[in-house]
Amino acid sequence: MIKTAFNSVHAHVILYPRLSIFITVLLFIQLLVLFISRVPPVSLPIRPSTQTPAAPSECGSGRVYVYELPTMFNEDLVGSCDDLDPWHWQCGVASNGGYGRSAAEYAGTVPESLLPAWYRTNQFSSEIIYHNRMLNYKCRTMEAESATAFYIPFYAGLAVGKYLFSNHTAEERDWHCEMLLKWVHEQPYWKRSNGSDHFIVLGRITWDFRRLTDPEKLWGSSFLNMPLMQNVTRLTIERAPGDYYDVGVPYPIGFHPHSDNDVSQWQSFVRTRNRTSLYSFVGASRGDTKNDFRGFLLSHCRNESDTCRVVDCAVTQCSNGSSAILEAQLASEFCLQPRGDSFTRRSVFDCMVAGSVPVFFWKRTAYDQYEWFLPVEPESYSVFIDYSDVLNGTSIWGVLGGYSKEEVRRMRERVIDCIPRIVYAKPSAGLENIRDAFDIAVDGVLRRFKERRQIADENGLQL
Ligand SMILES: *[C@@H]1O[C@H](CO)[C@@H](O)[C@H](O)[C@H]1NC(C)=O
Ligand SMILES: *[C@@H]1O[C@H](CO)[C@@H](O)[C@H](O)[C@H]1NC(C)=O
Ligand SMILES: *[C@@H]1O[C@H](CO)[C@@H](O)[C@H](O)[C@H]1NC(C)=O
Ligand SMILES: *[C@@H]1O[C@H](CO)[C@@H](O)[C@H](O)[C@H]1NC(C)=O
Ligand SMILES: *[C@@H]1O[C@H](CO)[C@@H](O)[C@H](O)[C@H]1NC(C)=O
Ligand SMILES: *[C@@H]1O[C@H](CO)[C@@H](O)[C@H](O)[C@H]1NC(C)=O
Ligand SMILES: *[C@@H]1O[C@H](CO)[C@@H](O)[C@H](O)[C@H]1NC(C)=O
């Protein structure tokens, strides 16, 4: 099966060289994830709302109605981890409500009182995390009539994930999506708006849902190419720049604070680290890709071992919950963030949560992705060095070493300010006073829908 997958990837490579890089890499990562995340069978701990509804003033942008979908569109897709299918990467996705197992291996790396807030979270688990949080969301309504936004809890990433690495037909890969749209299309509130006040969470990057039309292009589903999806808002870990309906949200990472106090305690912890390296690089090179920038950074970092701390994921098992990554990032002023398999990379969020200042080489890695979550001025919290300048001889060491202690401190403060905004809190009702990534994302959707509705009403238009 692996061979078949690679064959189909190979066909892709020829036709779509850029896509191919990212697919090869994805394959690699998913293999890693899978070998690492063998966990016991899971059951979804999704509970009905036990929250007392929020006072109207707390939900100024409106409320969310959550569709009750047939379980074939969510719970049934989670799968069972008894399955010996090596491609069953979604095992790690589903355990513990999407948060993953406890990361006991961080004992000694993080303060003891915060250890319970660290998990081995799979980067593709946001569909489950959002669903769980949404059911307990303070601005959820059970009355569709009064809703500003309609949430469709379809696990589209899990639905297509099953088919990504084997030779399945386009029909098979689109089947769940087709059925879902058939179902949702029949709902009265869908008919009212054609889906433009509906939203969904995609646990994978947007490109996994935009299959090209050529039958040779075997990657992904064509969910987002389906006409009915045209005006549905999607919260995704990597958006297509220029597509208004794609909203970038942070990748889930391992830190899930249980309280406001967890957040502030962690912020002081990372603020007072002794950062003994100027910068760090975590990643693996792609030996099979020509001019691989990550390979270049790896080699660069090894050559600069006085200033750069390297975690080579080809040697260290980066996704098995080893504490090597977190330790490297806690000990470095900056962290290098080249593009990953696609433009974005979960490591950006790992790095920022560790209080390390991210260094980008492509603008698309963060600046036009996560506008609701990161500061508007990129230079306030990050450094940008164009990758082509680096290849042409610009010294990373020279650029980063050029910042004064005070300048670095100021950038780090901005990074530390971001921490609550880029993590997903553990309590299903959210934190006490702090707004986390979930709150910001859902509130942003509500505000958008409310504004659009107002504009439409003022102009006598349909939504
Ligand atoms: C996938 O399966 C189809 C039909 O079973 C076959 O024609 C095609 O060659 C296979 N593709 C690959 C890449 O193995
Ligand atoms: C929804 O789409 C259908 C077909 O495209 C159109 O006839 C109808 O007017 C649309 N309704 C709204 C509310 O936009
Ligand atoms: C989506 O919105 C655009 C602009 O409002 C509209 O022209 C189009 O018909 C809508 N698509 C669907 C499927 O309703
Ligand atoms: C940081 O280093 C200084 C001097 O080497 C030391 O006194 C201090 O305890 C260290 N702090 C931490 C948190 O390790
Ligand atoms: C690292 O050093 C080796 C040996 O001196 C050299 O061949 C290589 O080009 C250097 N790598 C980078 C990225 O400068
Ligand atoms: C992860 O892998 C590394 C090296 O392969 C190993 O040393 C470490 O013990 C593993 N950690 C866990 C938590 O499995
Ligand atoms: C890098 O160098 C090449 C060849 O020397 C040149 O063509 C290219 O414009 C340079 N790129 C940048 C961004 O300076």
Identify the helix (H) or strand (E) that includes residue 66.
Answer: strand 64-66
Q: What b/e string do you get for 272-303 counting C-beta neighbours within 10 Å, with b at 16 or more? A: ebebebbbbbbbbbbeeeeebbbbebbebbee
What is the band of 12 on the pLDDT scale with cuts at 50, 70, 90?
Answer: very low
Checking if the pLDDT of 7 tops 80, the result is no
Name residue 236's amino acid: T
Domain boundaries, the chain: 2-46+60-253+430-458, 264-422
- CA–centroid distance, 392 to ligand 7, in Å, is 6
Name the one residue in this structure whose structure tokens are 């790896």. 298
Q: Which tokens go with 9?
A: 């990837």
The pLDDT, as a whole number, for residue 24 is 44
- Long-range contacts for 240-243 (Cβ within 8 Å, ≥24 apart)? 240/206, 240/207, 240/210, 241/364, 241/368, 241/369, 243/206
Checking if the pLDDT of 178 tops 80, the result is yes
What's the distance, Cα to Cα, between the start and end of the chain in Å? 46
Tell the burial category of 458 from Cβ atoms under 10 Å away from its Cβ (0-12, 13-18, 19+).
exposed
Give the distance from CA 353 to its chain's centroid: 14
Position in ligand 3 atom list of the atom nearest CA 195 = 14
Checking if the pLDDT of 14 tops 70, the result is no
Highest-scoring range by mean pLDDT, 29-33, 145-149, 338-342: 145-149
Query: Ligand 7 pocket, 371 CB below 6 A?
Result: no
- Which residue's alpha carbon is at the smallest distance from atom 2 of ligand 2? 194
Cross-strand partners of 336: 359
Give the CATH number of domain 264-422; options: 3.30.420.10, 3.30.70.100, 3.40.50.300, 3.40.50.2000. 3.40.50.2000
Q: Which tokens go with 240?
A: 């297509």
Alpha-carbon distance 76 to 85, whole Å? 17
Give the ligand with the smallest distance to the CA of 102.
6
Helices (H), 38-115: 90-94
Q: Torsion-angle region of residue 355: left (phi > 0), alpha (psi -120 to 50) or beta?
A: left
Query: Ligand 7 pocket, 389 CB below 6 A?
Result: yes
What is the band of 266 on the pLDDT scale with cuts at 50, 70, 90?
Answer: very high
- Which residue's alpha carbon is at the smallest distance from atom 14 of ligand 4? 274
Percentage above 70 pLDDT, the chain: 80
Position in ligand 3 atom list of the atom nearest CA 227 = 13
- Residues 121-143: tens digit of each pLDDT: 888 899 999 999 999 999 999 99
- Residues 293-302: tens digit of each pLDDT: 998 999 999 9
- Residues 68-104: tens digit of each pLDDT: 999 999 998 886 554 434 344 455 667 788 898 888 8
Give the number of other Cβ atoms within 10 Å of residue 319's Cβ: 22
Alpha-carbon distance 401 to 405, whole Å? 10
**Residues 224 and 211 sit within 8 Å (Cβ to Cβ):** no
- Residues 279-293: tens digit of each pLDDT: 999 988 776 566 789
Name residue 414's amino acid: R
Pocket probe for ligand 4: among 274, 277, 333, the residue whose CB has the most ligand atoms within 8 Å is 274
Alpha-carbon distance 138 to 215, whole Å? 45
- Residues 390-412: tens digit of each pLDDT: 999 999 999 999 999 999 999 99
Angle at 202 between CA 251 and CA 6, to 5 degrees: 85
Strand, helix or coil for residue 97: helix
The pLDDT, as a whole number, for residue 5 is 38
Alpha-carbon distance 327 to 321, whole Å? 12
**Residues 119 and 96 sit within 8 Å (Cβ to Cβ):** yes
The pLDDT, as a whole number, for residue 149 is 98
Give the ligand with the smallest distance to the CA of 104.
6
Position in ligand 7 atom list of the atom nearest CA 386 = 13
Alpha-carbon distance 407 to 387, whole Å? 23
Count of CA atoms in the C-beta half-sphere (13 A) of 105: 14
Alpha-carbon distance 186 to 193, whole Å? 12
**Residues 94 and 44 sit within 8 Å (Cβ to Cβ):** yes
